[in-house]
Amino acid sequence: MRRSTLGAGLVGLAVFVTAWKVIVIVSGFPAYILPPPEAVGASLVQAWLDGTIEPHAAATLVEIGLGFSVGAGLAVVVGYALGRSALIARLISPYIVAAQATPILALAPVLALWFGPGLLGKVVISALIVFFPVAVSTMVGIRSVDAGLLELGRSLRASRRQVLLTLEIPAALPSIFGGLRIGVTIAVVGAIVGEWAGAQYGLGVLVNLARGSLFDTSLMFATLATIAAIGVALYLIVVLVERRLVRWR
Amino acid sequence: MTVAARSGHIEARDLTVRFRRRDAAATTALSGFHLDVRPGEIVSVIGPNGCGKSTMLRVLAGLIAPSVGMALLDGQPIHGPDARVGLVFQEPRLLPWRTVARNIAYPVELAGLPEAERETRVKELLHRVGLADAADLRPGQLSGGMRQRAALARTLALQPEVLLLDEPFSALDAMTRERFNVELLKLWERLGTTIILVTHSIAEAIFLGDRVVVLSSRPGHVVADIRVEVPRPRTLDRLDEAAVSATAREIRAHLEANEP
């Protein structure tokens, strides 16, 4: 990352924290409604140091990682089929859209019932929510492959595999990465929602614990900050990979 | 005149191409089209818009199967794309994510040539079309003329015996276009490939061609086959000769007689 980008990020953070502090002072909300930033910061450091957050963060990261990989992986394959075959698109896209239109919060208990309260359930929920944007962006990407380039491939007697590897995938890559950017952030949502439907560990669990039995609003905010930071970090990783692979744009 | 590569004899016999569209009645792009191009000959094909010139090239390139008739390369029927026939499209159609060098290498890469062989060919072609300094640029960083040079080099990478050019210079400005014509002739003098050039420009057709074939409006068939009596090697100042304007007049007369 360039120096100026980093500088801008720090300035933005400073503005955010200052505004937060001002709101706390002006509004006079008690700390159990809106804790001041320094309390949340202290709680964040404390909870990481004493190992309160770590096992939960680790559990959530595993769920996100698996959910994103499985969901995005399947979505690229299905999205390719959707993009290449109008028949397949007509047959299965209604179900894909229906699955996406059904709120994940309503689906989560059902999926938890089917796949159990363990890791599998969370991975399924996260993968399901990741699937849609990645599948659609892959489909759009594959459909956008220049017909002229495909004809060029044909005139050069490119095999099916060569067309896929040298024309379709490179051409669709920018679009696929658009889907992956969205996918990786909502993979976080999927994991947390899955944890809410029943789990022993996970940042979603910790939010509930902090709000309920522990009644520690600062810890709750610290957990939320951790979730947000994970989302931002994963997003940046996707952007970095994209920059390496899609240099020509 | 040319290297004695005596293959590259391409023929179209009684070609008819009908397109069936789901929403409309079938259209006939070509009807009873004949063409016989000797090895090493340059034939310019000229005709009104939509007369089936591009369709004709696609049949010869093996991309479209004719409804009637057949296309032959060195006496053998053409049943699909063939490495001995190279097609240069109207647009450069470069892969935007590849550098110029890797675009030129693309056909030989698909054909599975060994890496070392690939590199020597690409290097030679880059020099031949004057893109040696642009080898590592991407198409987005090139001018229109450079892109078309790269596309030509890419087609030459498979060392075709027949070069099919589909209005390859139509997007270039007049000056660049003239220079390209001269360069193309120089290239041809060295390679001796058979060339079929589809063009809209009468001057270009005459300057490059041994013969100029005039097509009717759709469905296209040959209405005139005119020998260009301008000796080679040709230079741009030759374009002012009387033979050129006489040929141009003749071509124009045929084109006008066939206006729909």
As a whole number, mean pLDDT of residues A37-49 equals 93
Residue among B87, B95, B156 with most chain A CBs within 10 A, to mutate: B95
Q: Does the structure's ipTM exceed the value 0.85?
A: yes
- What are the CA-CA distances from residue B113 to residues B109, B150, B157 (Å)? 6, 19, 11
> Which residue among B81, B93, B97 places its CB closest to the CB of A148?
B93
SS3 string of chain A?
CCHHHHHHHHHHHHHHHHHHHHHHHHHCCCCCCCCCHHHHHHHHHHHHHCCCCHHHHHHHHHHHHHHHHHHHHHHHHHHHHHHHCHHHHHHHHHHHHHHHHCCHHHHHHHHHHHHCCCHHHHHHHHHHHHHHHHHHHHHHHHHCCCHHHHHHHHHCCCCHHHHHHHHHHHHHHHHHHHHHHHHHHHHHHHHHHHHHCCCCCCHHHHHHHHHCCCCCHHHHHHHHHHHHHHHHHHHHHHHHHHHHHCCCC
What pLDDT digit, counting tens, does each position of B109-145 carry? 999 999 999 999 999 999 989 999 999 999 999 998 8
Interface contact flag, B95 A156, Cβ < 8 Å: no
- The reported pLDDT for the residue numbered B4 is 46
> Which residue among A151, A173, A248 places its CB closest to the CB of B140?
A248
pLDDT band at A142 (very low <50, low <70, confident <90, very high): very high
pLDDT band at B97 (very low <50, low <70, confident <90, very high): very high
What dihedral angle (degrees, nearest 10) is formed by the CA atoms of A112, A118, A120, A126? 60
Whether residue B83 lies within 8 A of chain A, CB to CB, comes out as yes
Q: Show residues of chain A in contact with B109, CB under 8 Å.
A: 166
Interface contact flag, B97 A155, Cβ < 8 Å: no
Least confident of A167-171, B23-27, B235-239: B23-27
Least confident of A16-20, B47-51, B237-241: B237-241
Whether residue B65 lies within 8 A of chain A, CB to CB, comes out as no
Nearest CA-CA distance, residue B1 and chain A, Å: 30
As a whole number, mean pLDDT of residues A226-232 equals 95
Alpha helices per DSSP H over B113-227: 115-128, 144-156, 174-191, 202-208
Nearest CA-CA distance, residue B229 and chain A, Å: 34
Determine if the peptide bond prior to A174 is cis (ω within 30°).
Answer: no
Residue with the two structure tokens 């991975």: A123
Q: Show residues of chain B in contact with A246, CB under 8 Å.
A: 97
Mapped onto helix, strand or coil, the DSSP state of residue B193 is coil
Percentage of chain B with pLDDT > 70? 97
Interface contact flag, B110 A162, Cβ < 8 Å: yes
As a whole number, mean pLDDT of residues A9-36 equals 92
Check residue B97 and report its DSSP letter. T
Residue B2: is its pLDDT beyond 60?
no
Interface contact flag, A146 B93, Cβ < 8 Å: yes
Bridge partners, residue B196, by sequence: B43, B164
Interface contact flag, A170 B91, Cβ < 8 Å: no
User: Which helix (DSSP H) or strand (DSSP E) does residue B196 occupy?
Assistant: strand B194-199
- The reported pLDDT for the residue numbered B1 is 43
Check residue B220 and report its DSSP letter. B
Q: Show residues of chain B in contact with A152, CB under 8 Å.
A: 89, 93
- The reported pLDDT for the residue numbered B3 is 45
User: Could you give the maximum distance between any two Cα atoms of chain A, in Å?
Assistant: 73
> Which residue among A156, A170, A246 places its CB closest to the CB of B110?
A156
Residue A133: is its pLDDT beyond 90?
yes
Single-letter residue type at B243? A
Q: Phi-psi category of B48—alpha, beta or left, where left has phi over 0 and alpha has psi -120 to 50?
A: beta
Residue B241: is its pLDDT beyond 90?
no
pLDDT band at B17 (very low <50, low <70, confident <90, very high): very high
What pLDDT digit, counting tens, does each position of A75-129 carry? 999 999 999 999 999 999 999 999 889 898 888 889 988 998 889 999 999 999 9
Interface contact flag, A148 B91, Cβ < 8 Å: yes
Interface contact flag, A154 B63, Cβ < 8 Å: yes
- Strand segments, DSSP code E, in B20-67 are 27-37, 42-46
* CATH numbers and ranges of domains, chain A: 61-244 (1.10.3720.10)
Nearest CA-CA distance, residue B96 and chain A, Å: 7
The size of the A-B interface in CB pairs under 8 A is 48
- The reported pLDDT for the residue numbered B234 is 87
Q: CB count, 10 Å around CB of B163?
A: 24
Nearest CA-CA distance, residue B85 and chain A, Å: 9
Nearest CA-CA distance, residue B119 and chain A, Å: 18
As a whole number, mean pLDDT of residues B28-51 equals 92
Higher pLDDT, A117 or B68: B68
Comparing C-alpha atoms, which of A107, A71, A85, A89 is closest to residue A185? A71
**Burial of A215 by CB count in 10 Å (0-12 exposed, 13-18 middle, 19+ buried)?**
exposed
Whether residue B227 lies within 8 A of chain A, CB to CB, comes out as no
Interface contact flag, B81 A246, Cβ < 8 Å: no
Interface contact flag, A170 B97, Cβ < 8 Å: yes
In angstroms, the CA B13 to CA B31 distance is: 11
A142-175 as b/e: b if 16+ CB within 10 A: beebeeebbbbbebbbbeeebbeebbbbbbbbbb
pLDDT band at B176 (very low <50, low <70, confident <90, very high): confident
* CATH numbers and ranges of domains, chain B: 10-84+160-257 (3.40.50.300), 94-159 (no CATH)
Residue with the two structure tokens 């002012």: B240
Residue window 200-219, chain B: list those with CB within 8 Å of chain A: none
- What are the CA-CA distances from residue A130 to residues B33, B45, B195, B245 (Å)? 55, 54, 53, 68
Nearest CA-CA distance, residue A183 and chain B, Å: 24
Whether residue B236 lies within 8 A of chain A, CB to CB, comes out as no
Q: Are strands B76-77 and B68-73 parallel, antiparallel or unpaired?
A: antiparallel
What pLDDT digit, counting tens, does each position of B188-232 carry? 999 999 999 999 999 999 999 999 999 998 888 899 999 998 888
Tokens of A110: 């059902």
Closest Cα in chain B to A145: B95
